[in-house]
């Protein structure tokens, strides 16, 4: 959590795979929304991304889904 309320995520990604990063305010099925799509990387690495819209949220959940459609 950054000083301005932005959530910073670090996601390990496998080379050659695409990912959908989704967010939700609850863990109910069907409540997930797309945050961003990560393109395939040439090497296994860790990607860092920010969610500036997290400020003020009491609770927020994230998940990474592969492969991205």
Reported confidence tier of residue 69, pLDDT bands at 50, 70, 90: low
Contact 46, 36 (CB under 8 A): no
Percent of the chain with pLDDT over 90: 67
Is 52's pLDDT higher than 90? no
32-43 pLDDT, tens digit each = 999 999 999 999
7-21 pLDDT, tens digit each = 999 999 999 999 999
Average pLDDT over residues 55-60: 84
The helix or strand, by DSSP H or E, that contains position 65, with its residue range, turns out to be strand 61-65
Average pLDDT over residues 26-55: 92
């Amino acid at each position: 959590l950054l000083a301005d309320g932005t959530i910073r995520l670090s996601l390990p990604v496998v080379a050659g795979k695409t990912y959908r990063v989704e967010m939700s305010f609850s863990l109910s099925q069907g409540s997930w929304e797309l945050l961003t799509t990560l393109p395939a990387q040439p090497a296994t690495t860790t990607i860092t991304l920010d969610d500036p819209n997290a400020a003020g949220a009491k609770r927020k959940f994230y998940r990474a889904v592969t492969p991205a459609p």
